[in-house]
Amino acid sequence: ARHGYVCLVVDTLQLGEIAGVHHGTYREERWWWHSRGYTPAGVECWNGIRGIDYLVSRPDVDPDRIAVTGISGGGAATFWIAAADERVTAAVPVSGMADLPSYVNDRVVNEHCDCMFLYNTYQWPWTRIACRIAPRPLLFTNSDQDGLFPMDANDRVISRLERLYSLYGRSDFVDAMVSIGGHAYRRDLRQAAYRFINTYLEQDPREVMDSERDLITGQGDNRQYPIPMDQLRVFPSDADLPADELNSTIDRHFVPMAEVAVPEPGQFESWREALRSELRRVSFRAFPERVPAGRFRSSKSSSQLELETEPGIVIHLSELSTATFPEQPARIVLGVGGAEADPAFLDFLRSPWCPGDAVWLCEPRGLGATRWTRRNPPNYVERSHVLIGQTVDTGRVRDIIATVRALRQRYADPPDPPSVVLVGCGAEAVLAAYAALWEPDIEGLVLQHPMLTHMAPDAPQFLNVLRVCDVPDVLGMLAPRGLRITGVPSGEALAKTESVYRAAGAAARLQIELER
């Protein structure tokens, strides 16, 4: 404002007058954010875009000269806003972006809340977000001792940006500035930002000579502000906040959930393929077209096996058959779960099936023998996956499919390899359903007490899945395969699934047993 600009300062969602939540997956266990496709970064971006809408509506604002700047979460928001809104003429993010090797390999994601990240649905190199700003003027600034945005990542980001701007023939429109010190908004950073903005909005490249005195003086409880904080409030006190505010629950409103209609008679196949196509586009994009069979590793026991389902990922299988079965079983019964699974479920798996069935227990990654220790916060494993366009549960579905294909090959006696029935309980029942969605060689399923929505606590999570469908829709997509579901809380809980099976002409293949 001292330099003659109309300035709009936007509260962040978490630190605003009406507080929302930035730490949903960092510490609040709101894992359904992943399935909902919700991140507070989206809200910060939207607030910035709407702020620009307001600014350009004013007669004293030139809509062709808009700049965005901010530090830390504000630096990240600067990237989001400038990348999404081409009305931004110039952008100056301050300590707002690293890259995937830093966030994931070096675990810097652990230092950040959720407002710093989008979900990398399309598996971009992280700097592609910044490249969306090109060839508009961009000053990339940071501090050399900022542990939140390490310098090795800083160097990689600016190097990519410089190469990209050179392809546009606008190398002069991108620059970098590094301040000496830690994570802070010091005078030299402010001066660099003001000068850069002046250069491209005012065509005035002269050096900026700001006062040596910071706007905020003093430290701790003795800090002094040019404008007292209570004068910056919109509402006089917290008691005056509107009862119908959405900030505190915006994560349940910002991204709508899909409402999937039941297919019309004769339309089931096209209905299913449309949903499968959209799921592959936004939720299972990292999947290969056909998941390959896992590779058995050497083992000391024929009933305790290790299976490599993709490079570097090894899971455990246990043979549970209580009776001797022939070398060529007619059917494979594959349970999904870990050694910590409900004992009643394990007893059910061990109960007599058809004579000659081969019964196995598959422990997908992170369950049973490969279970990792979770720390909340920062939930590194789960949060880092979404930065590369996956979730842990996406990998678990892949493990199940790779196991199905490996076991069929193990018992293969062409041309008739054994059929497969999947069995799961709770969250693993949902994983089994998704595995069957992508693997046509799964003949049927027995699901006990499945979670009926991805919004449920501890339900499996897949990126953006609730923008496409929910669990009852996926269960319906399994028609006409045999599906037995037990422990359903009410007759209405799976009415959608029943309707879809009827539309597919497979009502007789669906059995639903209510919870006792």
- What whole-number distance in Å separates Cα of residue 288 and Cα of residue 305? 24
pLDDT-based confidence at residue 213 (cuts at 50, 70, 90): low
Among candidate residues 470, 392, 455, 460, the one with its CA nearest the CA of residue 432 = 460
**Cβ within 8 Å of residue 239, ≥6 positions away:** none
- What whole-number distance in Å separates Cα of residue 396 and Cα of residue 374? 17
Taking residues 250-272, report their average pLDDT.
97
pLDDT of residue 217: 79
pLDDT-based confidence at residue 322 (cuts at 50, 70, 90): low
Instruction: Pull the structure tokens for residue 512.
Output: 């639903």
For residue 489, pLDDT over 90 is answered with yes
pLDDT of residue 75: 96
Taking residues 53-71, report their average pLDDT.
97
pLDDT (tens digit, 9 = 90+) per residue, 147-165? 999 999 999 999 999 999 9
Q: Which residues pair with 178 in a beta bridge?
A: 142
pLDDT (tens digit, 9 = 90+) per residue, 323-355? 555 577 889 999 999 877 788 898 898 887 887
pLDDT (tens digit, 9 = 90+) per residue, 109-131? 999 999 999 999 999 999 999 99
User: What is the percentage of the chain residues whose pLDDT exceeds 70?
Assistant: 98
Among candidate residues 127, 208, 201, 140, the one with its CA nearest the CA of residue 174 = 140
pLDDT of residue 341: 78
Q: Which residues pair with 91 in a beta bridge?
A: 68, 138
pLDDT of residue 232: 86
pLDDT (tens digit, 9 = 90+) per residue, 429-470? 999 999 999 999 999 999 999 999 999 999 999 999 999 999
pLDDT (tens digit, 9 = 90+) per residue, 410-435? 987 766 789 999 999 999 999 999 99
pLDDT (tens digit, 9 = 90+) per residue, 70-121? 999 999 999 999 999 999 999 999 999 999 999 999 999 999 999 999 999 9
- Structural domains in the chain plus CATH codes: 32-252 (3.40.50.1820), 268-514 (3.40.50.1820)
Instruction: Pull the structure tokens for residue 410.
Output: 């193990």
Q: Quickly count: other Cβ atoms within 10 Å of residue 28's Cβ.
A: 15
pLDDT of residue 212: 55
pLDDT (tens digit, 9 = 90+) per residue, 25-58? 999 999 999 999 999 999 999 999 999 999 999 9
Taking residues 179-184, report their average pLDDT.
95
Least confident of 167-171, 357-361, 470-474: 357-361
pLDDT of residue 183: 95
